[in-house]
Amino acid sequence: MSTRCELRFEHVAIDDDPPGQHNDVCLIGDINGNGNLDLLVGEMGQGKNETPREIIFRGLDKRIIEPEVIAHLPTHGAKAGDITGDGMPDIAGKPYNSGKDQIDLLINRG
């Protein structure tokens, strides 16, 4: 027996004019440890912003979003996890189409 659940979503535009082009939404998680979910957006370095960035849209009061640039790296497909074992999520990613074979690690220092 299957149970059917109706899902309803509300569209909320958190940035009507994102700073870069070819943005890659990498992950959702509590990056800053305040108990609210945050959104990481990485610019892939393929467009109008000469210096690509990784931006955290911090969740405040479960609804309001506040942006903060955490790095200046082209990124694609980043993932978060506590790599250092300190209880804070770190971020690992790779450049998109940069010709470099590398993996970038952002260690969360709080």
Provide block-wise average pLDDT over 10 residues at a time, the chain (110 residues).
Answer: 73 65 73 84 74 82 77 84 90 76 86
The whole model's pTM is what?
A: 0.72
User: Which are the contacts of 42, defined by CB distance < 8 A and separation ≥ 6?
Assistant: 23, 24, 26, 52, 53, 54, 55, 73, 74, 75, 76, 78, 93
Residues 6+ away with beta carbon under 8 Å from 91: 26, 27, 31, 40, 54, 78, 79, 80, 105, 106, 108
